[in-house]
Amino acid sequence: MTSAHQPAASATRQDLSQVRFPDGFVWGTATASYQVEGAVHEDGRGPSIWDTFAHTPGKVVGGDTGDIADDHYHRYPEDISLMADLGISHYRFSLAWPRIQPEGRGQLNAAGVDFYSRLVDGLLERGIQPWVTLYHWDLPQPLEDAGGWPARETAERFAEYAVLIHERLGDRVADWTTLNEPWCSAFLGYASGVHAPGRTEGPAAVRAAHHLLLGHGLAVRALREQGARELGITVNLYPVDPVTDAAADRDAARRVDALMNRVFLDPLLRGSYPEDLRADLAPVMDFGHVRDGDLATISTPLDFLGVNYYSRHVVRAGTAKEGPSNWVGSEDVEFVKRGFPETAMGWEIDPDGLYETLTRVWREYAAPPLYVTENGAAFDDRLDGDGRVRDEDRRSYLEGHFAAAHRALTEGVDLRGYFVWSLLDNFEWALGYSKRFGLVHVDYETQARTLKDSGRWFSEVTRANGL
């Protein structure tokens, strides 16, 4: 067992009153288009892979879909007021590509662009900076029909879309994230198939990862030429530990680290794929899809790197299982629970993992400034008769993670901000509405919003700029 298996609390809970963040530290909340907007048939929006997937029986818990979600498309003014109450400086949201380009190519849909334009203006009027993510998983269905992310052409379409929408919003939006969590798009979407589009073709997932990165790089280059201000990407990272020091377990951890973290960090920040990853994948595929010049495009310098953190992976070598897996070429790896307290997602609560992730990226890579672009927790919240949600578990989760991030800061990591996932309870992908991540409770029958106790506490953190 490594030190990573010790309870995290001791390291992160000391001297909370000393936890003050630097002046100008960004505090925000995050959402994503398909998870909150609803209005899937309005104003010329085209179908996305998530519409298709969610409407396919058996794919999403309870048969839930994003058809209505939080109705943010209509209720965004109320949601902006809630953000103002939270005292946040930034709102991170994603654009629904099929609202802007229903076919995934060609002319812009003016009504879709107008929605985002109104949202941006509404935020700015309340002193909240819009932080745009160009792609948070809702690929226009026509592009999937043409091959999806495993096809190189999708990267080119993405860069075109990025340019067109940046032309419309770039005058008011300073911060642009190309992709959110390309690991999920590639491996959940095309390897295990638990996310849209639900394909189960391991090598196609690795090609998808490359074309997502290529789309990112092409977009960054094009947006730079347009004079874009702050450009970055968000990756979801996990520390990966072996359950024992045995060589086979350590090798399992190395392989998962390559497939989870380094498959993105190395191309982005070093301009190469890890040699050990290529060797691990050699029995199942070649890298013929990587063309000369791609890695130079992908490693175009960034202004920031977004890190999404939720938990740690602890692994051991096992025996290969039948059926689809996220771990292409390493289907034998097993994931081990340590008995730590968990969120409602079944994810072990491990704030030290955030500290380790931030310090690792900062020390091992020539990373640009970092932001935690997502961190948060689902719990089984209850709206009490007096209208309160007493989510002490979420408050405590966030406090531990804020302290861990602060510890990384004090050790020299250039961490510029922190976005809580999520502003609102919302559509949690294949788990539908069964998991609540919000600082704000949403009654899905009435769409009533209720600030949870964690939200009240968070508003004190943002105003004090510390704990």
Instruction: Report, as residue numbers or ranges, the catalytic residues.
Output: 181, 374
The 8-class DSSP code of residue 444 comes to T
Residue 393 or 428 with smaller CB distance to ligand IFM: 428
Q: Pick from 177, 261, 308, 450: which binds ligand IFM (CB under 6 A)?
A: 308
| Residue 374 lies near ligand IFM (rule: CB under 6 A) | yes
**Would you say 176 is a known binding-site residue?**
no
Q: Which two tokens stand for residue 405?
A: 């991030």
Q: Is residue 428 marked as binding? A: yes
**Using rule CB under 6 A, residue 64 touches ligand IFM:** no
Residue 257's contacts (CB-CB under 8 Å, 6 or more residues apart) are 240
- CB contact set of 11 (below 8 Å; sequence gap of 6+): 351, 352, 355, 404, 407
Query: CB nearest ligand IFM: which residue?
Result: 32
Told to check if 348 binds ligand IFM by CB under 6 A, we report: no
Q: What share of the chain is helix, strand, coil (3-state, %, to 5)?
A: 45, 15, 40
The continuous run of DSSP H or E covering 83 comes out as helix 72-86
According to the binding rule CB under 6 A, does residue 428 interact with ligand IFM?
A: yes
Member of 8, 19, 32, 269 binding ligand IFM (CB under 6 A): 32
d(CA 46, CA 324): 30
131 binds ligand IFM (CB under 6 A): no
Q: Does 350 bind ligand IFM (CB under 6 A)?
A: no
Give the whole-angstrom CA distance, residue 419 versus residue 371.
Answer: 8
Least spacing, CB of residue 264 vs ligand IFM, in Å: 14
Rounded Cα–Cα distance for residues 269 and 367 (Å): 7
Q: How far is the CB of 309 from ligand IFM (least distance, A)?
A: 10
Determine the size of the site formed for ligand IFM (CB under 6 A). 8
The Cα 420–Cα 325 span in angstroms is: 29
Query: By C-beta, is 306 or 329 nearer to ligand IFM?
Result: 306
426 in a known ligand binding site:
no
Q: Does 421 bind ligand IFM (CB under 6 A)?
A: yes
Specify which residues 288 forms β-bridges with. Answer: none
| Shortest distance (Å) from residue 421 CB to ligand IFM | 5
* List of residues 6+ apart from 288 with CB closer than 8 A: none
- How does DSSP assign 178-207, residue by residue? EEE-HHIIIIIHHTS-SSTT----HHHHHH
| Residue (136 or 360) nearer to ligand IFM, CB | 136
Whole-angstrom distance, CA of residue 89 vs CA of residue 21: 14
- Residue whose pair of structure tokens reads 């050699």 in the numeric block: 282
433 annotated to bind ligand: no
181, 249, 350, 391: residue in contact with ligand IFM (rule CB under 6 A): 181
As annotated, the binding site includes 35, 136, 180, 310, 421, 428-429
Q: What residue ranges bind ligand IFM (CB under 6 A)?
A: 32, 35, 181, 308, 374, 421, 428, 437
